[in-house]
Copies of this chain bind each other. A is one copy, B any other.
Amino acid sequence: MPRLLGMELRGHLDLLLLGTLHQTGPVHGYALIVALRDRSDGAFKLPEGTVYPALHRLERDGLIDSEWYTGKPRRRRVYRLTPSGAAALTAKRREWRTFARGVQAIVEPDVREGWA
């Protein structure tokens, strides 16, 4: 029997969340959704039912932590990357590169651009 894959075929959502959080600094969930949409140029319009549970999962796993901000306009839960989360981001970034390179090789093997 073949061994474990080691390479994630899915689960790129965590990478996206962690990566955005790293770019923006501490933000609340809804802002994360907006940032993800804007920074991906509209590619990632993640529904709330996707993002909030994912954030809970990431917090449960210690990759982010949160704090209630009870301030002027509305109450918000502000998330922050933990050291462990930053490390995970680095690892997932590397995994992503491997994954993307692999897919690229399979999917568009003829990227020579030699159109002449």
- Using a CB–CB cutoff of 8 Å, the interface residues on chain A facing chain B are 1-3, 5-7, 9-13, 15-16, 19-20, 23, 36, 39-41, 43-48, 50, 93, 96, 98-109, 111, 115
Closest to A40 in B: B102
How many copies of this chain? 2
Closest to A11 in B: B10
Decide: A39 near B5, CB < 8 A? Known: A12-B103, A100-B103, A102-B44. Answer: no
B7 & A9 in contact (Cβ 8 Å cutoff): no
A72, B59: Cα distance in complex, Å: 56
One of B46, B98, B111, B115 near A43 (C-beta < 8 A): B98
B107 & A103 in contact (Cβ 8 Å cutoff): no
A100 & B102 in contact (Cβ 8 Å cutoff): no
B1 & A103 in contact (Cβ 8 Å cutoff): no
Contacts of A46 in B (CB 8 A): 2, 5
A20, B103: Cα distance in complex, Å: 10
A16 & B103 in contact (Cβ 8 Å cutoff): yes
Closest to A93 in B: B107
